[in-house]
Amino acid sequence: MSGNIALLGADDPSPIVTKNPEGSSSFLLIGDHAGNRIPSVLGDMGLEPGERTRHIAWDIGVARLGELLSTALDAVFVQQVYSRLVIDCNRDPDAADAMPAVSDGTPVPANAALDETRRAARIAAIHTPYQTAIGAEIARRRAKGRPTILIALHSFTPVMRGYARPWQVGILYDDGDPTFAQALLTALRDEGDLTVGDNEPYRMDLIDYTIPRHAYPDRLPYAEIEVRQDLIDDEAGCRDWCDRLVRVLGAASIAMG
């Protein structure tokens, strides 16, 4: 195929779902990997059904957790609904692992030999609209004089490459203004019943894309929250963690003054 490629057909949903768009909270919730849909033109990407529902395909639990938090906090939640195997919206779109040929040991046949035209189609259809939607929401709030605390919701697999991860939750931060993230880290530790990761199970670094793009330049307060997937893989777990996160986000806000 050559020329422009239409990645999304008439029956494919928009890549972006915004919950509670009129929410009044200063928190802006985002979900880079909230969904695991695959555009119909890509079929099953050469993957078995089980591979399309495990952690390599999306952040398990984040869509439901974000919906609950959006309601509980009266916060806007901007989520991206396509699989991170189609394109990872928390990566620079030009990075090799934005469309990985192998993920956690699993080959992704549809990504094995992508040419620039096919890569550009995924960027234009999914990555760019998602990042544009976040930027537009921040700009809208700024124009109204409303503060924004950017909260990226992610989840992580309990075991990775044979290593059982001990944390129930981690807070990721790096450059820009990490003050809110550090206050949130303290609030989670103060809960007393958690093993909390400080930039674990991943460091926020130059690999990350969304928070650095939208929070760092204007020094917006932010935090990236990683919740272990076995704790939010059902309704009860999502509700428990919603309650907890509402509590600690409030405590961090108070600590910030």
| pLDDT tens-digit series, residues 201-240 | 999 988 999 999 999 999 999 999 999 999 999 999 999 9
Residue 1 belongs to some domain of the structure: no
Domain count along the chain:
1
pLDDT, position 4? 58
202 by Cβ neighbours in 10 Å (0-12 / 13-18 / 19+) ranks as: middle
Say which residues have a Cβ less than 8 Å from residue 78's Cβ, sequence separation at least 6.
16, 17, 18, 28, 29, 30, 31, 130, 133, 134, 137
Q: Does some domain include residue 30?
A: yes
Q: What is the mean pLDDT of each run of 10 residues along the chain (257 residues)?
A: 71 97 98 98 97 97 98 98 98 96 96 95 97 98 97 97 94 98 98 97 93 97 98 98 98 92
Angle at alpha carbon of residue 98, lines to 96 and 103, rounded to 5°:
85
The answer to the question of residue 173 being in a domain is yes
Q: What does the pLDDT read at residue 5?
A: 73
Average pLDDT of the chain is 96
Check: CB of residue 220 under 8 Å from CB of residue 142.
no
Signed CA dihedral, 233, 235, 237, 239: sign only:
positive
The rounded distance, in Å, linking the Cα atoms of 208 and 22 is 28
Residue 53 lies in a domain: yes
Taking residue 35's Cβ as centre, other Cβ atoms within 10 Å add up to 21
- Report if residue 241 sits inside a domain: yes
Question: Tokens 């880290």, residue?
Answer: 185
Domain that holds residue 162: 16-256
Answer whether residue 199 is part of any domain.
yes
Q: Which residues contact 46 (CB under 8 A, 6 or more apart)?
A: 107, 108, 109, 110
Q: What is the DSSP letter of 200?
A: -
Classify strands 169-172 and 27-31 as parallel, antiparallel or unpaired: unpaired
Task: Give the model confidence (pLDDT) of 157-178 as tens digits.
Answer: 999 988 999 999 999 999 999 9
Is residue 9 domain-resident? Answer: no
Question: Which of these, 55, 60, 31, 57, lies nearest to 110 by C-alpha position?
Answer: 57
| C-alpha 97 chain-centroid distance | 16
What residues pair up with 27 in beta bridges, in sequence order?
149
State CA 92 to chain mean position distance.
Answer: 14
pLDDT at 112: 96
The CATH number that applies at residue 155 is 3.40.630.40
Structure tokens at 121: 């189609």
Q: Is the residue at 7 inside a domain?
A: no
Per-residue model confidence (pLDDT) at position 63: 98
